[in-house]
C-alpha cells in the first residue's frame, strides 16, 4: 500500500526534496524500523531508488540511521533551517 503525504510540517521543504523523498520521510517517521524494501513499497519505487533517496536525506540532515543495519531504526530529523517533526 502506498502512502501519501499529509504532513503540513514538511511543506517548507518543497524546494529542497522531491515528493518521493517526502513520502519516505513520512513513512519512516511512522515506521522507524522500516527496511529499504518497506520504504520502496510505500513510495512505489525500487529499493535502489529508496537507498539513493535515503543517502540524500541523510546528507541533508533530515534522516538518520541509529544502530546497526539489521536491528537499527530511522530517525526523522530537522535540517539546518527546518524542523520537520
Task: List pLDDT tens digits, range 38-62.
Answer: 999 999 999 999 999 999 999 999 9
**CB-neighbour burial class of residue 70 (10 A; exposed 0-12, middle 13-18, buried 19+):** exposed
Q: What CATH architecture does domain 8-76 belong to? A: Orthogonal Bundle (1.10)
State yes or no: pLDDT of 77 exceeds 70.
yes
Q: What is the pTM of this model?
A: 0.74
Cell readout for 31 is 515506521
**What is the separation, in whole angstroms, between the first and last Cα of the chain?**
23
Q: How many secondary structure helices (H) and strands (E) does the chain include?
A: 3, 2
Nearest CA-CA partner of 13 in 85, 65, 64, 66 = 85
Q: Collapsing DSSP states into helix, strand and coil, what is residue 53?
A: helix
Amino acid at each position: 500500500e502506498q502512502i501519501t503525504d499529509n504532513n503540513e510540517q514538511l511543506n517548507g521543504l518543497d524546494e529542497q526534496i522531491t515528493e518521493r523523498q517526502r513520502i519516505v520521510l513520512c513513512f519512516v517517521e511512522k515506521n522507524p524500523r522500516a527496511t529499504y524494501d518497506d520504504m520502496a513499497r510505500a513510495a512505489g519505487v525500487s529499493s535502489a531508488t529508496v537507498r539513493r533517496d535515503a543517502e540524500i536525506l541523510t546528507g541533508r540532515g533530515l534522516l538518520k540511521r541509529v544502530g546497526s543495519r539489521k536491528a537499527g531504526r530511522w530517525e526523522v530529523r530537522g535540517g539546518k533551517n527546518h524542523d520537520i517533526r
